[in-house]
A = this chain, B = another copy of it.
Amino acid sequence: MGAPDRLNSLPLSTAAPTERGDAARNRALLLDAARTLIAERGADAVSMDDVAAAAGVGKGTLFRRFGSRSGLMIVLLDEDEAAEQQAFMFGAPPLGPGAPPLERLLAYGRSRLRFVHTHHALLSDVARDPHTRFNAPATLHHTHVRMLLESAGTTGDLDAQADALTALLDTDRVAHEMTERGRTLEQLGDAWETVARKLCGT
């Protein structure tokens, strides 16, 4: 009973040094190593031992920093989501501003398909929860697609059309299409393009 209260009352500054010096360096090394291994083998085939070995950092340090394997995965997903958002909101065209809205929409679809494919394991855990399915960051993606549809002059109910389009990027759907039906990311991107073009009226 007392422990959480005691933790809550600790001055915030005592946690700060873990981000400094070696700790920050180790954190970056571990995240980079995890990213490289996941890109090579898929998340399911990457153990904490693998990550520690590839980073040249002790396994104890890895667990102290991220708490658990799922803690590490959540930090990775979070950082990657932030980088992806940065790219489609503020990055270079055709994903970012500067390209015509339909071109941005097509680039977004293909980019997001790659993202959900790479991050399948973690994203599907989050999607399982009915309370998060229709909330952030899903809302951010919906809003982005809706904005591009609107900029492209799309007629009719924009929310429904954004939902129909984002449904094609659903993590479980993408995994199902690739694993059970042998579809490639290229084919899924082409299908997304067909639907996007029709909704935009081109």
Contacts and interface: CB of A to CB of B under 8 A. Distances in A.
A124 B128 CA distance: 11
A191 B128 contact: no
Contact of A160 (B130, B160, B163, B191): B191
What is the size category of the interface that chain A forms with chain B?
20 to 34
Contact of A173 (B134, B165, B194): B134
Interface SS, A side: helix
A194 B157 contact: yes
22 contacts: A128-B128, A134-B173, A134-B176, A134-B180, A155-B194, A156-B191, A156-B195, A156-B198, A159-B181, A159-B191, A160-B168, A161-B191, A161-B194, A161-B198, A163-B168, A163-B173, A164-B167, A164-B195, A167-B167, A195-B199, A198-B199, A198-B201
Given A161-B194, A164-B168, 15 more contacts: A124-B130, A128-B128, A134-B176, A155-B194, A156-B191, A156-B195, A157-B187, A157-B191, A160-B168, A161-B198, A163-B173, A164-B165, A167-B167, A198-B198, A198-B199
